Amino acid sequence: MNRTHAVRDTAVIGIAATIGLALGVGGITAAYWSDEVGFTGEISSGYEYFAAGRVDATTPADSAHSATVTIGAAEAALLIDDGRLAIPMQTDSLSQGNKGLRYTVSPPSSWGTGIFGSADVAVFPVTAAADCTVDASVPASPSHASTPVTADYSTSTTPTTEYWCLIATLDGLPDEGGYKNTVTATAKDPSQRDVSANDTWSANVTSALDPADESNHVISFTYETFRPGE
Amino acid sequence: MRTSSKWRLPLLATAALAAGAALGGGTLALWNGTAGGSAATIVAGDLAIASSDLAWEETSPDVASPQTGTFLVRQGDTAAASFPFHTVLDGDNLAANIGVAWNTAPSLPAGVTGTYVVLDPDENTVASGVLGADDAALARVTTGGDYVLRVTLDFAGLSDRFGAGSAVQTADLGSFDVTLTQIRSGEGFE
């Protein structure tokens, strides 16, 4: 074998060994099996809702969880005119998931010294708005709390509606009334006989209370949510 | 007998090729086959992973009738998402790592926390991790079976939504792969 052949043989054998090694290394890489599976997942929250107000005119609760109904001059005027007044009110409640919703009704601690302050005022629940009339019977000790939504799981999007009633009865105003006076005068006539005469006058005293001056009275509806067992 | 000079170089090259391949690819037999019986049958091994459907479950301790499937969560709830997968490790001397790799990061609402564990077929916890953190070597396994990657979410600090028009709070676990990768370390490989 001459030198040229020796170089050629060495090169061929070297290349073959290199290719073989490369294939082998490639075999190692392929030998590490792997497999995978893909996943995704998400879950979303439910919500709550509460509103209160006049019937069919509720307003959503504010960030303090309260909605209010205001009784003022317009209602005082009606009360003066009619002597009795019934105002139906409405609440709408909803709470999804495992949270219930309850609320309390807080009439003013004082109805003031105006027209409503002179009336008998009661706030109590009624089954339907139509049940709130001046002739409705007022419960002796009406509850001012309600739990329209339990903490049982719910996906409802329809609020639970409840009704409340304010009845005011005005049996006279404190500065209202009448005044009557009879005056009798006695004297002797020219013949020295006793004579007398009398006269009567009277006046109706009307109230100085003006419905337009009635201050606003706020009835608050305040809700909270609660979990099962709370 | 003297080898013909015509065949000497091809034979040497072939021998060199085979030696190189054997040197580099000596581990092929670890997973790829077992010889059995006098017929010398070669049986290929297998390493694979397959998934089943995700299952959500309400785990709130104060709830008497927990929800399953898709349900609405509220503040105070806890929930678990189970991602079942089945592993196959057929072959002698075969081990693999179960791993997790997120393609899309999870996104949880404020006040919500989440962790996960991997349960083996006997429901023993074999690994745990942080949502969104890749880990290629969660658990080393040498046998196949039904495993579960279970994500637990705690909605203790979730704020309340008010009204249907408020923004929906979604606990998005992102997109992730559960991987099964052959390894050659650990018991039996030293």
Query: pLDDT tens digits for B9-56?
Result: 555 555 554 454 444 433 333 443 222 233 445 556 788 999 889 999
Q: Which residues pair with A64 in a beta bridge?
A: none
Q: In which band, very low, low, confident or very high, does the pLDDT at B185 lie, cut at 50, 70 and 90?
A: confident
Neighbour-count burial for A8-23, b at 16+ CB within 10 Å, e otherwise: eeeeebeebbeebbeb
Largest CA distance in chain A: 191
pLDDT of B76 above 80: yes
Beta-carbon count within 10 A of A194 CB: 8
Name the nearest CA neighbour of B131 among B156, B152, B157. Answer: B152
- The span from the CA of A31 to the CA of A48, in Å, is 57
The interface residues of chain B toward chain A in range 49-68, judged by CB-CB distance below 8 A, are 49-51, 54, 56, 58, 60, 62-65, 67
Query: CA A130 to CA B57: how far, in whole Å?
Result: 45
B110 inside 8 A of chain A by CB = no
* Listed range (A63-67, B90-94, B132-136) with the worst mean pLDDT: B90-94
Q: Which residues 113-172 in chain B show a CB within 8 A of chain A?
A: 149, 151, 153, 155, 158, 160-164, 166, 168-172
Q: How far apart are CA B100 and CA B137, in angstroms?
A: 8
Ranges of beta strands (E only) in B8-77 are 34-36, 41-43, 46-51, 55-58
- pTM of the entire predicted model: 0.76
Rounded to 5°, the CA angle B162-B168-B172 comes to 145
Picking from B13, B161, B180, the nearest residue to A16 by CB comes out as B13
Q: pLDDT value at position A84?
A: 96
CA pair distance B56, B81, nearest whole angstrom: 4
What phi and psi, each to the nearest 5 degrees, are found at residue A77? -65, -40
Calculate helix-pair angle for A3-31, B5-24, nearest 10 degrees. 30
DSSP letters spanning A136-197:
SPPPSS---EEEEE-SS-B---SPEEEEEEEEEEE---TT-EEEEEEEEEEEE-TT--EEEE
Give contacts of A35 with chain B, Cβ < 8 Å.
47-49, 179-180
pLDDT digits (tens, 9 = 90+) for A103-153: 999 999 999 999 999 999 999 999 999 999 999 999 999 999 999 999 999
Residue A11 CA to residue A9 CA, distance in Å, equals: 5
At A203, which helix (H) or strand (E)? Answer: strand A194-205
Within 8 A by CB and 6+ apart from A128, the residues are A163
pLDDT < 70 regions, chain A: 1-31, 173-179, 203-208
The complex scores an ipTM of 0.76
| Least confidently predicted of A210-214, B1-5, B161-165 | B1-5
Q: CB-based contacts of A208: which residues, under 8 Å, 6+ apart?
A: A175
Residue with tokens 């929930």: B79
Closest of B78, B74, B81 to residue B56, by C-alpha: B81
* pLDDT given at position B46: 83
Rounded CA-CA distance A34/A26 in Å is 15
Q: Is B44 on the interface with A (CB under 8 A)?
A: no
Across the interface, whether the CB atoms of A35 and B49 are under 8 A apart is answered yes
Chain B CA closest to residue A96: B72
Adjacent-strand bridge partners of A95: A48
CA distance A141 to B8: 116
